[in-house]
């Protein structure tokens, strides 16, 4: 089954990993991709514009009440948690930081788990906090698939190790293997990709 949404979160070192993953996603890719990276709150993020030039899919920074369109990539803006409602509408919240971060990966993962349940995939990348581990476990508990970057390939391995301990992911992969897996999701069996 092709997932409805793939939620990707990371912190220290994650931009370099995203450069290996997002440009590989092919034209005609069906799932929506939501991305939260820990970025400073006090200045604009250039992530959407940087990745728009590198990706085959449309890339934007999320807006409040924006429909989450299939085959698009949306980044959480600085200073706001990125959520999604069950009707596939994005929401931005300036609630308290989680693990000193706003946007928070946990907040996005929890929202994705509740909105899409078994149609969700959560991917936790390199990072130096525990943000994302609880939300990743929630995606798994609601029937979604969870993937964690292999800690041996991380700039900072705290986040993926916390995700592995908390969520017991089906897949722990290198960045290149994550890219390969996601790009073919729904078109090949997991055995062919392992």
| DSSP three-state, residue 73 | strand
Indicate which residue of 11, 45, 101, 104 is catalytic. 11
16 tagged catalytic: no
Q: Where does residue 89 rank: exposed (0-12), middle (13-18), buried (19+ CB within 10 A)?
A: middle
Mention every residue, 6+ apart, whose C-beta is less than 8 A from residue 189: none
45 tagged catalytic: no
CB atoms near residue 23 (< 10 Å): 15
Indicate which residue of 32, 130, 131, 157 is catalytic. 131
130 tagged catalytic: no
Indicate which residue of 32, 38, 104, 129 is catalytic. 38
Question: At residue 105, what are phi and psi to the nearest 5 degrees?
Answer: -70, -45
Residues 31, 56 contacting (CB under 8 angstroms): no
Active site residues: 11, 38, 131
């Amino acid at each position: 089954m092709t997932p409805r949404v793939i939620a990707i979160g990371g912190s220290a070192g994650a931009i370099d990993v995203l450069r290996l993953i997002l440009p590989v996603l092919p034209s005609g890719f069906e799932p929506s991709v939501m991305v939260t990276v820990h970025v400073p709150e006090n200045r604009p993020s250039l992530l959407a514009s940087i990745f728009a030039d590198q990706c085959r899919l449309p890339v934007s920074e999320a807006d409040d009440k924006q429909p989450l369109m299939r085959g698009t990539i949306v980044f959480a803006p600085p200073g706001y948690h990125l959520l999604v409602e069950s009707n596939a509408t994005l929401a931005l919240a300036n609630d308290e930081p989680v693990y000193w971060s706003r946007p928070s990966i946990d907040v996005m993962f929890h929202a994705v788990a509740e909105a899409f349940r078994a149609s969700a995939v959560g991917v936790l990348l390199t990072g130096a906090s525990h943000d994302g581990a609880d939300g990743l476990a929630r995606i798994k508990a609601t029937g979604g698939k969870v993937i964690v970057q292999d800690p041996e390939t991380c700039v900072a391995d705290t986040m993926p190790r916390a995700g592995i301990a908390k969520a017991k992911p089906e897949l722990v992969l290198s960045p290149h293997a994550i890219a390969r897996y996601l790009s073919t999701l729904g078109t090949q069996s997991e055995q062919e990709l392992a």
